[in-house]
Amino acid sequence: MAKTKTIYFCQNCGYESAKWLGKCPSCAMWNTFVEELAKRPSASDKNDWRSTSGGGKRASAPKKIEEIAHEKEQRINSKNGELNRVLGGGIVPGSVVLIAGEPGIGKSTLMLQIALSVNHKVLYVSGEESEQQIKMRADRMSQLHAAECYILAETSTQEIFQQVEKLNPDLLIVDSVQTLYSSNIESAAGSVSQVKQCTAELIKYAKETATPVFLVGHITKEGAIAGPKVLEHMVDTVLQFEGDRHLTYRILRTTKNRFGSTSELGIYEMMGNGLREVSNPSEILISQKDSELSGVTIGATVEGNRPLLIEIQSLVSTAAYGTPQRSSTGYDARRLNMLLAVLEKRCGFRLGLQDVFLNMAGGIKVEDPAIDLAVCSAVISSLEEISVSDKACFAAEVGLGGELRAVNRLDSRIAESEKLGFKEIYVSKFGMKGIEPGNYKIAIKPFARLTDVFGDLFG
């Protein structure tokens, strides 16, 4: 009887070791090694995804780069505008897309909607739900009907590839990759080695047949994708499905994309019959109110190719317990501290003994420095209890000297503000190159310093 062999894997990077190590030599993380049974595949093992039919591997030979014919990829239209946006224009044949998010956020709902709406033969493999459960969810999406959507409740990759060869689908969806099991590895489903092995088999299938594959992935309590970090390196695209389960809006964000931009995002609204695409994100990022409030401003930001207008809410109050608090939601706390220092040093506002709370409405996270001016205006509006007109918006970066710096794609920010009915926009005068104010109905107000903006806003 063969002796059982165990190998230790790093859960973070997938590093393999013959013994347990406290610190991983590859990624320098501590206490990440787990013990698993290992079986070295012999030369007779059929480890190819075609093993069920005995097909051979594709022969390949090196080519000069100038001899390689470049053809524009023919993307598949998913019939979902927000997903097409984050993927860079559609689904690329042969690509492997990993979509991850918290439990109950809507990953399976989104994937089933794509399977039901795309005009191609789709195989939806579920390792978490039965066929009846998927049918119940599909019935709720009454507006969607697809004769070419096939459901398979299976977790063994060998059984899955048998059905794949019989059906020959145009799109394969796996929900989820942590539930898959390959008989080539002697370990439990969801372990580091199983996730790596099953993903490698699916990637091999996708590349050899030019069939796009969607993988649904779990996340850990820290918010990282479950399994080895190498999983994110193996796939072509990584999408994060974000949002609060207690709210209706969801954000689909690209964190890696070999076929497009990594700064795009799609916005959905969770409804009883599925996810609704939000084509105008400003409808959720700007709250409706019947009176002007202090501490509220509108900033013009850009996510990928999409201009967004978001509402910044600020509350400034006297610190009751001596030590002032600095709290921000959806905005970098360190940058907020920097802007507060600029307001105190360059503009003379006493904020050292004030609690400052900042919130990005709609649950969105913003990293664009172009909303610096909107943040500063919201803080001073709350401090002085003077409201800012709800018809004014801001698009400028604030420097450490209190100067206003130019931002990119100012023309698209101005056009979006005009389209949504704003009357004036405050910008940096150093970013006005190529901007003709006469071409816009909105009043463009260029300034050089932060103090000049406050003088115009608050007098």
CATH number at residue 86: 3.40.50.300
Show the domain range for 19.
Answer: 5-38
- Do 18 and 95 share a domain, yes or no? no
State both tokens at 281.
């994100």
Examine residue 33 and state whether it is found in any structural domain, yes or no: yes
Helix or strand run (H / E) with residue 15: none
Examine residue 83 and state whether it is found in any structural domain, yes or no: yes
- Do 265 and 345 share a domain, yes or no? no
Distance CA 8, CA 60 (A): 33
The answer for residues whose C-beta is within 8 angstroms of residue 458's C-beta and 6 or more apart is 380, 381, 384, 386
Please report which residue ranges of 323-391 form alpha helices under DSSP H.
Answer: 333-347, 372-384
Question: Do the annotations mark residue 14 as ligand-binding?
Answer: no
- Do 438 and 318 share a domain, yes or no? yes
Question: Do the annotations mark residue 101 as ligand-binding?
Answer: yes
Strand order through the sheet with 237-242: 149-153, 122-126, 171-175, 213-217, 96-101, 237-242, 249-257, 265-271, 274-277
Q: pLDDT category, 347, cuts 50, 70, 90? A: very high
Question: Do the annotations mark residue 421 as ligand-binding?
Answer: no
- Do 119 and 265 share a domain, yes or no? yes
Q: pLDDT category, 49, cuts 50, 70, 90? A: low
State both tokens at 233.
């390196």
So what's the pLDDT on residue 446?
A: 96
Tokens 């420097």: give the residue: 399
Q: DSSP class of residue 249?
A: E
Q: DSSP class of residue 380?
A: H
Q: Point out the least confidently predicted range of 58-67, 190-199, 371-380.
A: 58-67
Examine residue 53 and state whether it is found in any structural domain, yes or no: no
Mark which of 227, 257, 279 sits at the end of a domain.
Answer: 279
Structural domain count of the chain: 3
Domain with residue 372: its CATH number is 3.30.230.10
Please report which residue ranges of 279-391 form alpha helices under DSSP H.
Answer: 282-285, 333-347, 372-384
Question: Do the annotations mark residue 243 as ligand-binding?
Answer: no
pLDDT in tens, 28-42: 888 888 877 665 555
For residue 247, is pLDDT > 80? no
Cβ neighbours, 10 Å, residue 306: 16
Question: Do the annotations mark residue 105 as ligand-binding?
Answer: yes
Examine residue 262 and state whether it is found in any structural domain, yes or no: yes
Helix/strand/coil for 397: strand
So what's the pLDDT on residue 12?
A: 74
- Do 228 and 265 share a domain, yes or no? yes
State both tokens at 22.
């406290």
- Do 200 and 219 share a domain, yes or no? yes
Cβ neighbours, 10 Å, residue 402: 17
- Do 422 and 332 share a domain, yes or no? yes
pLDDT in tens, 149-202: 999 999 999 999 999 999 999 999 999 899 999 988 777 788 888 888 899 999
Using N-to-C axis directions, what is the helix angle for 450-458 and 372-384, rounded to 10°?
50
Examine residue 310 and state whether it is found in any structural domain, yes or no: yes
So what's the pLDDT on residue 206?
A: 95
- Do 453 and 316 share a domain, yes or no? yes
So what's the pLDDT on residue 96?
A: 96
Examine residue 60 and state whether it is found in any structural domain, yes or no: no
- Do 266 and 123 share a domain, yes or no? yes
